[in-house]
Structures are given as structure tokens and as C-alpha cells.
Amino acid sequence: MLGVGGAGLARALRAGTQAWLWGARGRPLALVHAARGPHAADWQPSAGRGPRGRPLSLSAAAVVNSAPRPLQPYLRLMRLDKPIGTWLLYLPCTWSIGLAADPGCLPDWYMLSLFGTGAVLMRGAGCTINDMWDQDFDKKVTRTASRPIAAGDISTFQSFVFLGGQLTLALGILLCLNYYSIALGAASLLLVITYPLMKRITYWPQLALGLTFNWGALLGWSAIKGSCDPSVCLPLYFSGIMWTLIYDTIYAHQDKKDDALIGLKSTALRFREDTGKWLAGFSVAMLGALSLVGVSSGQTAPYYAALAAVGAHLAHQIYTLDIHRPEDCWEKFTSNRTVGLIIFLGIVLGNLWKAKETDETKKNIENRIEN
């Protein structure tokens, strides 16, 4: 029976590749409000026409809905219709890889692509584990009742086989790295497995998610350098944890009523009306840690300009947040992709700026020697 599941997984992956190449506009499942709670979708404009004469769309949700029906529950289980989570997992990896680049050089594009593939697989594996643990709870929450396992579209056994396939592929990615990084990456598996349980025992499950989601801040650097530099990697990891506490607390406010009814915990329920003050504190801690990263790695003006832009973005996000409107919480949550991209851009430009400063220093030294 396991062999049949493996063959089905292989067919599903082939069909998924075709679906990503030939997306077609469809109605995102996340827009069905009647019994599934409010969601916002990643809307993209139509871009010509796909096969069979259907309009072609680049929306992730539309691509998933255009996939063969047997494949769709597995793609939704991986949350491929909502790629924001993959971005939030991937971006700390890009920060670390960018910081590890030599002065004046762009980040290692091979590593960026490798970690991007790994982020898709590990985010999918994390969601699968989460839905396996939470299937009974998901049935009682309007926003999550339509998830494939809770809705009965995928059995527990099928999800277990699918999880094995995702972890096997992720292991293949990990084995492309150096030995130090392989050991470091393997150490994160315990966090991946246990963090979905934290909402049952603590009001700080977002902290456990932060520890898990930002492991790439350590792994990206070690993949380039062969080990971790604590002066850079630890404050970078800490800043990512603070960032996760910001965006996932906002996200948790969507479910706070249902969570309170069924006995689940979150920082949204812990902070309540004081959420804004807590988020402001996390933002200050995040920016302070990122400033320390800049000092430790010899960053330049573009990096600090990016931090200023991030500070303004977070301030606006927190000031305008309406924790009682799930739609606004979702919009603010997804806007954190912009935060991560600004930081990455600042790292890249700041690193390129280093070469200019180095050349100017060399010229000054040469002029002094000549004089």
C-alpha cells in the first residue's frame, strides 16, 4: 500500500510541475466566506490565455485550482495557494546568504535557489505536520475547517506518506550543503515537529514558531562560510524571532474567538488590547538586533537606510492595525513580505557599497605612500 502511495506522489509531483507552468484563473478557495471564514487572496492580473483557451493567471491560488483535482488537496495541504508563509520562511535565509557574500559581490545565486526550493518543501512539511496534529481542532474553527485533512479530502495515512515524500526531497537539498550545515539543518527537525503543539500548552506559540521559521538565518551563513559567526548569526536569528512575533501575533488575531472557545492559546489572546504596545516593543528589539548585525558585519549606508524604511513600515503597520477586523489582520500579516524584501535589498546594496569604500581606502593609502 505504501508503494501505491509513493507512485501516486510521483504522479502528483509531475502534474504539479505542469500546473505551475500552465496556471489558469480560478476562484481561490480562500475567498469562499460562507463557512470558511474571511481570507484575502494574492490577486494577480490576467496574463493572456492558457491551454484550452482559458485565461492565464499568475495567482498562486489560481494555479492550485487549475491543477488536476486529485492533486489539489495535496497542494493546499502544502499551502501552495498561500505562498506568504514560504516567503516568510525563505527571507531570513536570504538575509544570511547575502550577509555572507564577499564585499562587493552579489549573494550566491545557487544557494539562494537551493534554499528557495528547501523553503517550499519544509514549509509544506511543517503545514502537513501542523494539520495532522490539529485536524480535530481545525474542524471547529471556521477559517481552518476547509483544510484538506480536516475536511476529509486526505486521510491521515495519505498525509503521512506525503510528509515522508516532502522530507525526503528536503533531505536531498540539505545533503547538497557542507557537513556543518547538514548537522545544523537536521537539528531544526525537532522544532518543526513540536512547534504545532505549543498552542496547547503556552500563550507563546508564536515564539516557538519564531525559533523554527528563522533557523535559516543560521543555516544560510554556515552554508557559505562553513560555520556560524555568533556576532552576526545570533543577533540575526534574534531579529527574525522578533519579526515572527510581530507578524504571527497579527495573524493569530484572526482566530482568537475560535481559539478561546476550543482552548487553544496564542499571543493574540495573551496581549489582547495591549497588542500594539507589545508589537512596538518587538519592532524596537528587531531593529536593534539588525543594527548590531550591521555593525558586526561592517555594513554600509544602504543597509541602514533599509532599516529606516523597515522601521517606518512597521510603525505604520502597527499604528493602523485593527485587531478586531480579520481582513485587516490578514492584509497587515501579508505586508511583512515587503519588510523581508527591503532588508534583503539593503543587505545586497550595502554589500556592493563595501567595494566602493574599499577602493577609496586603497587609493587614499596609495596616495599617502606616494606623497
Q: How far apart are CA 150 and CA 131, in angstroms?
A: 8
Is residue 105's pLDDT more than 90?
yes
Burial of 180 per CB tally in 10 Å (0-12, 13-18, 19+): middle
How much is the pLDDT for 274?
A: 97
Is residue 174's pLDDT more than 60?
yes
Q: What torsion do the CA atoms of 311, 312, 318, 321 make, to the nearest 10 degrees?
A: -150
Classify each residue of 156-178 as buried b or exposed e, where b means 16 or more C-beta atoms within 10 Å of its C-beta.
Answer: eebbebbbbbbbebbeebbeebe
Specify the CATH class of 70-356 in words. Answer: mainly alpha
Pick the closest to residue 93 from 206, 179, 172, 173 (CA basis).
Answer: 173
Pick the closest to residue 122 from 228, 213, 241, 198 (CA basis).
Answer: 213
Q: How far apart are CA 334 and CA 40, in angstroms?
A: 9
**3-state per-residue secondary structure call for 123-173:** HHHHHHHHHHHHHHHHCCCCCCCCCCCCCCCCCHHHHHHHHHHHHHHHHHH
Name which residue leads in pLDDT, 101 or 25: 101
Task: Dump pLDDT digits (tens) for 331-349.
Answer: 999 999 999 999 999 999 9
How much is the pLDDT for 52?
A: 42
How much is the pLDDT for 365?
A: 57
pLDDT band at 138 (very low <50, low <70, confident <90, very high): confident
pLDDT band at 364 (very low <50, low <70, confident <90, very high): low
DSSP symbols for 180-241: HHHHHHHHTHHHHHHGGGGGGT-S-HHHHHHHHHTTHHHHHHHHHHSS--HHHHHHHHHHHH
Average pLDDT, the chain: 84
Work out the average pLDDT over 221-250.
97
Work out the average pLDDT over 63-82.
92
Name which residue leads in pLDDT, 343 or 2: 343
Cell of 16: 504539479
Q: Would you say 117 and 124 are in contact if contact means Cβ atoms under 8 Å apart?
A: no
**In 3-state terms, what secondary structure has residue 46?**
strand
Q: Which residues pair with 57 in a beta bridge?
A: 46
**Is this model's pTM higher than 0.85 or not?**
no
Mark residue 272 as left, alpha or beta (left: phi above 0; alpha: psi -120 to 50; beta: remaining).
left
Pick the closest to residue 40 from 91, 81, 77 (CA basis).
Answer: 81
**In 3-state terms, what secondary structure has residue 33?**
coil
Is residue 300's pLDDT more than 50?
yes
Is residue 36's pLDDT more than 70?
no
How much is the pLDDT for 139?
A: 87
Is residue 250's pLDDT more than 70?
yes
Q: Would you say 182 and 222 are in contact if contact means Cβ atoms under 8 Å apart?
A: no
CA angle 84-294-177, nearest 5°?
Answer: 60
